[in-house]
Amino acid sequence: MPAEHSALRIFGWSIAITVVSLVVAYFYGGWSAFALCLILGVLEVSLSFDNAVVNATVLNRMSEFWQRLFLTVGVLIAVFGMRLVFPLLIVGITADLGPVEALRLAMEKGDPHEPGTYGFILNEAHPQIAAFGGMFLLMLFLNFVFEEREITWLSWIERPLARIGKLDMLSVVVAAVALVFAAELAADEPEVVLVSGILGMVTYITVNGLGSLFESAGGGGEDEADEAAPARSGGPTAVAKATGKAAFFLFLYLEVLDASFSFDGVVGAFAITADPIIIALGLGFIGAMFVRSITVYLVRKGTLSEYVYLEHGAHWAIGALAAILLVSIGVHIDEIITGLVGVAFIGAAFLTSVLRNRRNAETEELVHAG
């Protein structure tokens, strides 16, 4: 009963907001808007489960206050910032329109494949968006696989990568080479892709670096050393919780991370509908809220500690998503492929975690029996 009560508390707001969003969608555009809103919500959750797992690894380091802030204030940033304001901003900059004109264009009904429409203009900005998000996620993936870890999942590749990762700034070098190749895929204005990609790298290095700086400055001494050791092994119960400036930059890092994951979903949503209200309701209020609830659930239940390969699978899914975003600069890749790749990595990591736990349990039984 307590477990059910806890789950209801975590997912209660998500369920309530989903119901309200679907009702608003129905009154806004009838059953077709209702169906589109539901489809977008399901699409966002399925595409972003790897996002939730990675978010949980960061959120696990934050105090309960900052976890609640991520679920409340953070979701407002995700809904209004990424799913509504961000597309309007991109269209306004690309088409040289003011905020009011961009909003008016967004509210006009039209084929998103027709030049001059809101969906078409946003799709034209895809190379810059993909370069920024792809480089941010690629840096996250590379810093994960280049770090030496006690537990490895794909040991045949993770261990060699960790050994060569001892070279300073290797992740930056590899990311920069990948960006050059991605810019070559851009038919028009490859220099714009280069600038966007560099901004993505700089954003990751800055936010992640500031978070680490304030996290290390916020503690110290023997207590920090004692608590930091279990944190590296993935156990959520003994992690030193970040507060103050450290937690703020971790919160900021989470928001940028969520934004990077959202790029493909926001742009891909225009293949389903160009209506910004439906996109905000489906991707934002339903999808983003559920992703946050799943994140908090993973933290509170200690799922990442129990299924130790989930974090690895999520980061490999991030690497795949980063590669897909960069390749999509010159080649169209269906959103279904993007979602299936992430689900495949997460599913494989979960299954191998279950098998590992089973083998460990059998070993312990043999030891006790002996």
Q: Which residues contact 207 (CB under 8 A, 6 or more apart)?
A: 249, 252, 253, 256
Judged against a pLDDT cut of 50, whether residue 228 lies above it is answered with no
pLDDT, mean of residues 116-135: 81
pLDDT higher at 359 or 106? 359
- At residue 111, the pLDDT reads 65
Query: What's the whole-model pTM score?
Result: 0.75
pLDDT recorded at residue 186: 77
Confidence (pLDDT) at 23: 93
Q: How many domains does the chain have?
A: 1
Q: Average pLDDT, stretch 198-213?
A: 81
Q: Which band of pLDDT confidence, cut at 50, 70 and 90, is reported for residue 64?
A: confident
Does the pLDDT at position 67 exceed 70? yes
The pLDDT confidence band at residue 109, using thresholds 50, 70 and 90, is: low
Is residue 86 a contact partner of residue 95, using CB atoms and an 8 Å limit? no
Q: What type of residue is 308?
A: V
pLDDT at 236 over 50: no
The answer to which of 80-84, 174-178, 251-255 has the lowest mean pLDDT is 80-84
pLDDT in the model for residue 174: 94
Which pLDDT score, from 0 to 100, does residue 274 have?
Answer: 67
pLDDT at 352: 93
CA distance 156 to 122: 41
317, pLDDT greater than 70: yes
d(CA 115, CA 108): 13
Range of the domain at 78: 2-369
Q: Is the pLDDT of residue 43 over 50?
A: yes
Confidence of residue 370 (pLDDT cuts 50, 70, 90): low
